[in-house]
Every structure is written in structure tokens, then in C-alpha cells.
Structure 1
């Protein structure tokens, strides 16, 4: 089994995704006219004042916080430390590149999720890659394959990753047995996920801004107190990315090592192109009432996750002077770094941050998996309950596993999802471009954008006229 996972990871990350992620991101960036840079202010405009929703959906701000709950997780603390250990400081540069071009990918996939969303059981909006693959490309069988991969990846494996990081951090501070930690997290998760997506959205809306804000404030303090060293650290990251400057960082040493680990951990963190965030983007009631508005909202999520939070972790580690080794990586490396900056409080702070980041990721990941189960099972409550129980079981299992085992499984399942989704987004890129032009044209005319599918007969098949009539 381990051999099979290793082979899959070699294929996905050695040949397909390391080029596919950047390639698709660049393709969409160019096709959409460098949208994420030229219209950067639109990312914020579509979130500010977006508190309204209707009975069938959640607000755009809630959708952003749920996606951030999933994005801003252990990848921002553990994943960044792993990237530094295995790829050197240059890996952070490639995480930035994945994020900057990935903002266009995130925009495209979430816009498509809005466009092809439907009313699910009970009237709630449902959508995501499975729906735009089925309704936009007319390939429901491939939508089903994607849904299975998403359930395995987000509903099961990724939640094991999050639980693993919680257990590592809490055990390091308190010495409590990992089994008990896993059981405790599973119970807390169950209390929320059994309330469904509306309850998850309400929790994320309050917890996510608090947890991300506290973490960024800690990073800001480190930057201010070490201001003179910051330019050198940033220069070190860029030089190491291109092999100009080498560093004794674990197995790091070459451009490919930096690029491979930066791209892998970057995708794991910001999820752009993976097809995850579109599942919650589709549930939102967009404001303005146009599919593009949720695309802008989710592009902002990528920016916050990688350019802000991941960079914060990397800079705190690099400024600490702690050099990783085989015995110091992942959570332990980040804790050691913050221990240098904040003393004993730093270890506790990382454990608390890991808990909140990982716990909110678990409930956010579940929200994605629930959408996939609804697609496959047409809202069968027994299947939804089985998923919830499965998520809790994987939390307990993940808490007790070795970190390498969990990450290898996560990389393989992530590769299947991302490959299918990237192909679908490229095939539907003409639709993305047409809908985007419609939005920007209305903005340029000084109007509040509003989408009517009757104005776009070429993309009408597969679009719910009851939603976009």
C-alpha cells in the first residue's frame, strides 16, 4: 500500500501537478487579463458589506470564513515548516508564486461553482466542481469520480492531517496521550458538523477572523522587533529559490527541491485549483448577484492564506535562527522558532494556534465533503450521517499516526482531485472569460453587476434559470 501511494505521488507531483498548477494558473491569469492584479480592489469590494444572505444560502463573508477555516490550517504552520525543511527557504518563494497565479484559478473555479449551482435537498444551494463537471461539461460520471476523491481527501485524509497536528502540538505542551486528544477533538467536531453547513458557517464567521488576526499580530510583533533583519531574510528566500544561495536546511539544496516542496505545500495550504473552496462558494448568496463576485471573494482567500499567514510563519521561523534537522520539523520547528521569539509562551501559543487552525479546518473540510455526498447520494440522510461518523473516526485515527504517513496519503488524494478539477476548469475557461467580461463591463458602466442567463445563450445549457433567470 505504501509503495502504491509513493508511486502515485511520483506521478502527480513529479510530472503532472508541479507543472499543471502553475501552467493553469498562468493560462487563466493571461486569459482573464491579469484579473487578480488589475482588479485587486474588487476582491475586497465583494466582501465588504456582504453580510446579507437568503434562506437558501449563506453570506459571502460566511463563505469566505468557511473557506479560510479550511485553508488556514496546519499547512500554514506545519506545512510551511515542512517546506522549509525539505526545500529550503526558496520553497517559500514558490509558495508565493503558486498563490499569485492560483488566485486566478481560485477565481475561475469558484465563479463556475456559483454559475452551475442548484437547489439541493431542503432548498439549500449546492454546487462545486462535481456540479460544473456534470452540468457544464455534461460528464456526470467524472463529477462522481471527483466527488469520491473529495470525500476521501477532505472528509477523511485531510481531517486526519489536522488531527495529527493538534495531537502533536498539544502532547508536546501537556504530555496528554494522543488517543485522548483525538477523542476530544472528534467529540467537539461532531457537535458542530451534525448541525450541517449553516452551523459551520456561524462558527467560522466568529472564530476564523479572531484566530487569523491573533496569529498575524504575533508575526507583526516579530517583524517590528527584528526589522533590520527582515530585508536580508526576504532576499535569502528569493536567492535560494533560484539556487543563487544555498543553505544547510535538511535535504534542501536545489531549485527543483525548493519548487517541488513549495508548490506541494502551497497547494495544500491555499487549495487553489484543488476544487475544494468552490463547494462552499456555491452555497453563498452572492453580492452583487453575479457568479463573478464569489470568484473574487475566494481569490482573496488565497491571498490571505499564503501571502499573509504562510509568509508570517516562514519569516518567524527564519528570523529565529533555528535551523531544522531530521529531529526538528513540522510543529516542533515552528514551536522552537516562536520559543526563541516569545520564550515559553511561544510553545503554548503555537499549540493554541494549531488547535484553532486545525479544528476549524476539520469543520470546513467536512462542509466540502457534505456537498460531494449530496451530489452522489441525492441528499440521503443515512449517507450524510455515515460521513459525519467517518470524519470523527478519521480524527481519532489521524491523531495517533506518524506525520509522514498522513502527509503521503494527503498528497496522493490531493493529486487526484486537483488533476480532475484543473482539466475541467481549462475546458470551461471560455465560459469563465465570458462571464467575467459581463461583470467587468457592468462595473465599467457604473452599474451594480447582475447576471441573467438569458443574456448568454451560449452558456445557458446546464445553468439553473430559477437561480439566474
Structure 2
């Protein structure tokens, strides 16, 4: 039954929905992910000016690194290896396609999450697909928002947390001989110390950890590419030919390449799942499109950069050789590939990288689970504490358990999660374009910091308290506009 649902979701339903939303919004938005690619850097630079710790807000950059912490995980190291093993090198090409389309999808869903966010306590916000479904589509769709929240809790809060713990424990066991129970206990203790501090502590840890781990991993990958620069054209040709079934002896053919590229690409960058919007909504920004642009870039970082780095490390090594019947797969393949390039210390490096990637992802998964619970029971401290204890226990359990069934279950729930969110995005397509046009118009008028005025959209059921900029930010923006200090953009 699980296999049937997986084949139906990933082989048919999601293929249509991902293409419809990704390509549809790319065309309708006039290729927003490319038009504003360069602007992302100025938005991140300006976000530090909008970071108001005295008001309790999180900046756009903090929300970015928190979402990258979630996107960049075991899927970037083990997931790419699985995709290549089961779908051949061509799966990498389809991962790239999913990534480029996913940038537009991520822009849409994260912009909507920002638009429909709700003001919380002490300068914080809550938002995500459950919120834009109810507020954007109306109360009669509350069942759909509830279904999404349940699937989010099952997939990220529980299943993916156990899977990340399992990946870390098995990797450390392979590299260092550490018993999986000890790895699980140590990981659970550190996770517990952080998640009991709430979203702000998680964001502060991610703000330090994510750039460090991503840059370190990419430096190793870049060095390997330089060492094998003459072989790059052949590897690129292999990827493209395999993607279109022109290398029949490699992988499972074009069908397997497309399916694995879609599945592992979505697992890695999460564009369309609706997970990242839960984090995108917490940022304090002057316009929803700001965070949409930034989150589109996070998909680029995840799939086009980090996943590609893993793929090239594997395909440039002598480890991947399907003709020999080599059974090395998953994280072991990535470890073996790096060891083939740089020696046995490469196994240790991959284990440490996986620890950092998976650790940050567990923190991210916890927050998604908390946000799903918050939709049903607003800011219930006792419920959140029970969930935190459950996460700590799950980290220990996941490290010591064979999770074959959990993998299959997670694939199904992740597929259903994507279906629900993508259907909602189709219904909210025009509203997303409306917010983008508001941003486009202000950029066209030469406004450096476009500002979103919720009062201009009375029909959208927005929370005006979520769009009140702090006085000092209003003054700075209006000085840029040449307006009176207290004036808003007309």
C-alpha cells in the first residue's frame, strides 16, 4: 500500500502540481526568481538595519539562515547519493530543474506566509500555509488548514526528526565507532538545551552555525572540483545524457531519474512543501516580497549549490560504478567518495558535516512542529513543553532504531503535505501576483525600501498589527522617500 501511494504521489500527482505551480508562477511573475536575484543581497544587507532586538523581532537574515538550516540537511549529503544510486546521474539534472522551478514556488509560498502572518507576543509573528489557507481562502477551508498542520507535525515534527537522528548516529558509528545510543543521548541533550529557549534561541544558534557549516562543506567541494577540473565536462555530459535516457546502462532509466530527482530535490529544498513559509513568516520586513526573494535564494543555495557539490564529489570519484554492482549507497557513498578524493579523513569530515547539517535541521523540524501545534492551540506553553520532551525522546529513539518503515511513511506524508500546499497555492495564485505587483510598482517608482500597507488591501483579511513598522524604521524609510518623518507612502 505504501509503495502504491508513493508511486501515485511522486510519479503522477506531484509531477503535475509541481510543474503547474513552478512554471506557471515563473511565467506569470515574469521570472521573478531571476529578475530579483541580485536584489536579494541588498535585502539581506538592509535586513540588519531592520533587526530590532529591543522590540523582539527577527531579521530577514535570521529567517533565511533558519530556513537554510532546515533545507540543508541529510538530503544534501545522503539524499543526493540515494538519488544517484536509484535514478542514475540524470537524477541530478532533474534536481536542478526542481530547484529552478522551486525558486518561484518558494517565492510565492513565502510571500503569502508573510502577507497573512499574525502578530504574536513580544514582537514575534506566526504564519505559514495553515494561516494563508484559512485567511486567504476563508473559514470554509479550515479543514484543509487543519489537515496541513497534522501532516506537518507528522512529517517534520516526528518522522524527519527521527530520520535525521538516525543519519547522524549511523554516520558517527561508521566513522568513529561510537555506539548509536551514545550519539543519540548526546544529540538529544544539546537539542533539548536549545529548543527550550524557543524560536529566538534557535535563530541565534542557526545564525552562527549555518554559514559556518555550509562554507566549510563548499570549500572542500570546490577544492575537489579544482583537482578534477578536466573531468567536469564529461561529468556534466553524463548527467544530461542520463537525464534523458541516453545512458541506458546507468541507473533506472529516464523514469527513475525524473522520479528520484523530483523526490530527493523536493526532500532537500522543500519548495512547495510549505515548510519554509512557517519560518519565513517570523521575519520583520517592510514588504512580504522581501522575504519571498530571500527564500527563493535559499532554494538556490540548497539545490543548485550544496546538492551539486555532493553530486560532483560522488561522480568525480571512483566509487560510483553501477556496472561493477557496487552496493555502496546513501551516506556511506558520500563518505567513501570523499575518502577516495582526500583520504580516510574524508569519512570523518562527512560525519561532522552531517552532524552539523542534521543538528540544525532537527532544530528547524522542532519549530515546524511547534508552529503546527500553535495553529490548534495558540501559545499553549504546557503543550509546547510536552512536545519538546517528546522531541528529545524521539532523537534518542531514532538513533537506535531501524527506520526503514519510517522512511516509507515520511515519503507518503511529505507527498500529501506537498499536494495540500500546492493546491492552496493554485487557489491563491492571483493574490500572490497582486502582492508582487505592489512590490514591482514601488521598485519601478525608484523606491529603495518598498513598504507594504495592509490598509490598501481590505478584502484580504490581513492582520494590520503584523504590518506596523517601528517608529525609527518609519522615519528612516520616509527620509529615503523625502517625506515628512511621520508620513507613510501614499
TM-score, length basis structure 2: 0.91
Could you report, residue by residue, the CA deviation over 1:8-47 in whole angstroms, capped at 9, with x for unpaired residues? 3232112211222122111111111111122221222222
Equivalent position SS for 2:155: helix
Query: Is the Cα contact below 8 Å between 1:243 and 1:254 reproduced in 2?
Result: yes
Question: Which digits, 9 at most, give the CA deviation of each residue in 1:340-383, with x for residues without a partner?
Answer: 11101100000000000000000011112211111111111121
Alignment partner of 1:281 is 2:280: yes
Off by >4 Å, runs of 4+ in structure 1: none
| 1:331 matched residue in structure 2 | 331
Matches within 5 A, 1:71-150: 71-138=71-138, 139-150=141-152
Going from structure 1 to structure 2, the CA distance change for 1:404 and 1:327 (only over 3 Å counts) comes to farther
Separation in 2 of the partners of 1:453 and 1:355? 42
Once the two structures are superposed, residues 293-327 of structure 1 have per-residue CA deviations (whole angstroms, 9 ceiling, x without a partner) of 00001000000000000000000000002126563
Query: 2:214 — aligned with what?
Result: 212
- Superposition RMSD in Å: 1.4
Matched, 1:22 2:24: no
Give the corresponding residue for 1:254: 253
CA distance in 2, matches of 1:407, 1:247: 28
**Other-structure match for 1:449:** 450
After TM superposition, the structure 1 stretch with the greater mean CA deviation from structure 2, 30-39 or 420-429, is 30-39
SS of aligned partner of 2:460: coil
Aligned to 1:307: 304
How many equivalent residue pairs?
459
Question: 1-side partners of 2:144 and 2:165: how far apart?
Answer: 30
Deviation at 1:222?
Answer: 0.4
C-alpha deviation, 1:61, in angstroms? 0.6
Residue in 2 that maps onto 1:53: 51
Match of 2:478 in 1: none
Cα displacement (A) at 1:66: 0.5
Query: Could you list the per-position Cα deviations for residues 27-75 of structure 1 after superposition, in whole angstroms to 9, with x for gaps in the alignment?
Result: 1111111111222212222222312323343111110000010000000
| CA-to-aligned-CA distance 1:416-459 (integer Å, 9 cap, x gap) | 211111011111110110110110111111112111122234xx
Where structure 1 has 5 or more consecutive residues not aligned to the other structure, the ranges are: none
Q: Which range is displaced more, 112-121 or 76-85?
A: 112-121
Q: Report what 1:424 is aligned to.
A: 424
1:89, distance to aligned residue in structure 2 (A): 0.1
Alignment of 1:63 with 2:63, yes or no, is yes
Matched, 1:34 2:31: yes
2:166 equivalent in structure 1:
164
Question: Contact between 1:22 and 1:102, CA under 8 Å: does it hold in 2?
Answer: no
Contact 1:320–1:340 (CA under 8 A) maintained in structure 2: yes
Query: Do the aligned residues in 2 keep the contact of 1:78 with 1:331 (CA within 8 Å)?
Result: yes
Deviation per CA, 1:75-102: give whole Å up to 9, x if none. Answer: 0000000000000000000000000000
Query: What is the match of residue 480 of structure 2?
Result: none
Distance across 2 between alignment mates of 1:428 and 1:435: 11
**Does the 8 A contact of 2:10 with 2:262 survive in 1?**
no
CA–CA separation in structure 2 for the residues paired with 1:446 and 1:46: 15
Once the two structures are TM-superposed, the CA of residue 123 in structure 1 deviates from its matched residue by: 4.9
Structure whose alpha-carbon radius of gyration is higher: 2
Q: Deviations along 1:147-198, whole A, 9 cap, x unmatched? A: 1111111111111111111011100012122122112111111111111100
Take 1:21 and 1:70, find their aligned partners in 2: how far apart are those partners? 20
